[in-house]
Structure 1
Amino acid sequence: MVRSSDDNEKKSLVKKLKDVEISVPIVYGNVAFWLGKKASEYQSHKWTVYVRGATNEDLSVVVKRVVFQLHSSFNNPIRAVESPPFELSESGWGEFEIAITLHFHTDVSDKPLHLYHHLKLYPEDDSGSLSVKKPVVVESYDEVVFAEPSEGLFARVQNHPAVIVPRLPAGFSLPPVPAEDADKRKRVDPKDNPLTQWFTNFSEADELLKLAAARQQVTMNLCIFI
């Protein structure tokens, strides 16, 4: 039986890269603004919960959609965001836990990743005063690890700023990236997000030292979900 070139190309796209891992640093959290004189008993803050790249890169290269599950007191408490930025804005007065579910593209993973974030509206320090100009920002950093990616996936993400990929052996050739996937990288500029000025800089040396010590355990835990 003779295989066509199309069959061979499709086979190469799904072929797994053994002993290879790619990782995607992510940050999830919330920014909350006090409404000041406009605040009422049930509307004291305007807030945004989100999932973003560690330095605000576009995560849509691996993430298909993000589902946020709010408190049951909200209308339509389960909200799906189908395109970046993966964020949701609301207003209210109370703090509660938000379930965040990341759904990936089919060539990335068929298993969703479940995260949990406690919405914060007030400063951690009781003596901290509320300000309409400076929001409360609470964020967590993690790395999602995908083991044995397909050659097609590796080729698609190898030059994307949101994804950390290892260097392959010299002479190893990957399948070409479809034109439509290359075009998608240019559609979203994460720097256009007005919340960027409030995001935590997780590239600072002290943060990296803390994360490096915990990374091995975090990777083991996340691999359970992927």
Structure 2
Amino acid sequence: QNKKLKDVEISFPIVYGTISFWLGKKASEYNSHKWTVYIRSATNEDLSVIVKRVVFQLHPSFTNPTRVVEQPPFELSESGWGEFEIAITLYFHSDVCEKRLDLFHQLKLYPEEDAGPQSTKKPVVVETYDEVVFPEPTEAFFLRVQNHPAATVPRLPPGMTLSSPGPMELMSHDKKRFDTKDHSLSQWFSNFSEADELLKLAAARQQVQAHIAKLRRQLSMIEGMPQQSRVI
């Protein structure tokens, strides 16, 4: 079960970020917003299959700024008035990865100018998409996540076979998963599907091409203008 699978990679698309709500009439000078920082699967599935615990490092002005979350959902909620960088550290199960993963997220409370005024109903959402890749996974890890909807698991190379799953792997499939699809904030989560990402890339490419074409037209106009000589 601890045997490493050569030439195999398992990846998990993840999202980390914050959702901030303005308190409106209840806001005070030092308590203007309520916010939640979190790490989730990009498809809103259970991440505890790989994550053992998450440590959130808040601003030193908070009481007990180092917060440890050992069960899903991997998040914490607080309130305050200032924006600051939050350090998010992921610790994985021993058969997944011995290294930790350090992430950093800038808490944002106030909307951009073009987004309109603050509202108690529409939060400020800032999320970052990433993918965690685990090369050469153990057999136990592979067996546990091979049918997990949040995992990207490749086919095994030809000729490679696995041992029969042990009791732990069988138990993990029967265990009820925490699913963030039922999360109270899920309506504000961004959709990071592959199709959406491709559409965004296509739109960005069109904008770049249009800008290049505009610059070329301006350059050709400049080159076509008669040169003026300065008489001193």
**Greater shift in the superposed pair: 123-132 or 101-110:** 123-132
CA deviation profile, 1:68-121 (whole Å, cap 9, x unmatched): 000000000000000100001000000000000000000001110000000010
Deviation for aligned residue 1:152: 1.2
> TM-score, length-normalised on structure 2?
0.81
CA pair 208-22 structure 1, distance change in 2 beyond 3 A: farther
1:191 maps to 181
Deviation for aligned residue 1:128: 2.1
Q: Is the 8 A contact 1:33 1:121 kept in 2?
A: yes
Counterparts of 2:113 and 2:192, CA distance in 1? 22
Aligned length: 199
Counterparts of 2:57 and 2:47, CA distance in 1? 20
Counterparts of 1:127 and 1:30, CA distance in 2? 17
Q: Does 1:168 align with 2:159?
A: no
Q: CA RMSD in A?
A: 1.9
Aligned-partner residue type, residue 183 of structure 1: D
Deviation for aligned residue 1:191: 1.8
Q: Is the 8 A contact 1:15 1:151 kept in 2?
A: yes
1:31 maps to 19
SS in 2 for 1:181: helix
Counterparts of 1:22 and 1:127, CA distance in 2? 38
Among 122, 145, 152, the residue aligned to 2:140: 152
SS in 2 for 1:60: coil
Q: Is the 8 A contact 2:14 2:130 kept in 1?
A: yes
5 Å-filtered alignment, 1:1-226, equals 13-125=1-113, 128-169=116-157, 172-174=160-162, 175-177=164-166, 178=168, 179-184=170-175, 186-203=176-193, 205-208=195-198
Aligned-partner residue type, residue 193 of structure 2: S
Deviation for aligned residue 1:159: 0.4
Counterparts of 2:33 and 2:46, CA distance in 1? 27
Aligned-partner residue type, residue 172 of structure 2: D
Deviation for aligned residue 1:176: 1.2
> TM-score, length-normalised on structure 1?
0.83
Q: Is the 8 A contact 1:202 1:208 kept in 2?
A: no
CA deviation profile, 1:167-226 (whole Å, cap 9, x unmatched): 124664433153322233x23132221000000000163424668xxxxxxxxxxxxxxx
SS in 2 for 1:14: coil
Question: Unpaired segments of 5 or more residues in structure 1?
Answer: 1-12, 212-226
Aligned-partner residue type, residue 197 of structure 1: Q
Aligned-partner residue type, residue 176 of structure 1: P
Question: Unpaired segments of 5 or more residues in structure 2?
Answer: 202-232
Q: Is the 8 A contact 1:34 1:45 kept in 2?
A: yes
The sequence identity of aligned pairs, in percent, is 74
Counterparts of 2:32 and 2:117, CA distance in 1? 14
